[in-house]
Amino acid sequence: MIPAVLLYDVGWKTVPEELQLRAFGPGRNDLEINRIHSVEGAKIARELLQQSGYDPAHVDQIAEIILRHDSRQEAIRIDLRRFRVDSVAHVGWLGRQIDGWFLTATGKDMAQAEHKLRRMALSMP
CB 85 within 8 A of CB 75: no
The whole-angstrom separation of Cα 41 and Cα 63 is 8
CB 4: neighbour CB atoms within 10 A? Answer: 19
Q: What is the dihedral of CA 89, 91, 92, 98, to 10 degrees?
A: 150
| Per-residue pLDDT tens digits for 33-69 | 888 999 999 999 999 999 999 999 899 999 988 988 7
Tell me the CB-side half-sphere exposure of residue 63, using CA atoms within 13 A.
18
Sequence spans of domains, the chain: 1-69, 71-125
CB 93 within 8 A of CB 35: no
Amino acid at 37: H
Q: Is the pLDDT of residue 72 over 50?
A: no
Q: Is the pLDDT of residue 27 over 80?
A: no
In Å, how far are 6, 12, 37, 61 from 17, measured between CA atoms?
A: 20, 8, 12, 28
| For residues 96-108, average pLDDT | 91
